[in-house]
Amino acid sequence: MNQSAPIAAPRTTTALAVEAHGLVKQYRDKRAVDGVDLAVPQGCIYGVLGPNGAGKSTLLRMLLGILDVDGGTRRLLGSDRPIRMAREVGYLPEERGLYPSMPAREAIAFMGALRGLGLHEGRARADDLLDRHGLGEAKHKPIRQLSKGMAQTVQLLGTIVHKPRLLVLDEPFSGLDALNQGRLEKLIRAQAEGGATILFSTHVIAHAERLCERIAIIAGGRIRFEGSVADARATLAQRVRLVTRATDGPWRAALPPDAAEEDGHWQFDLPDGGIEPLLSALIEGGAGIEQLSIERPGLHDAFIAIAGGAIGSEDIAEAKAIPEETGDA
132-148 per-position pLDDT tens digit? 998 999 999 999 999 88
216-261 per-position pLDDT tens digit? 999 999 999 999 999 999 888 888 999 999 988 999 999 998 899 8
Band (14; pLDDT cuts 50, 70, 90): low
Q: pTM value? A: 0.81
The mean pLDDT value of the chain amounts to: 87
16-233, what's its fold? Rossmann fold (3.40.50)
Alpha helices (runs of H) in 31-147, residue ranges in sequence order: 56-64, 104-113, 119-132
* CATH 3.40.50.300 residue window(s) in the chain: 16-233
Q: Annotate 16-29 with DSSP letters as a single string.
A: EEEEEEEEEEEETT
Distance CA 269, CA 239 (A): 5
91-102 per-position pLDDT tens digit? 999 887 889 999
Q: Average of pLDDT values for 275-279?
A: 91
DSSP E strand stretches across 42-116: 45-49, 71-76, 89-92
User: Which backbone phi and psi does 71 adopt, to 5 degrees?
Assistant: 180, 150
Q: Average of pLDDT values for 7-20?
A: 69
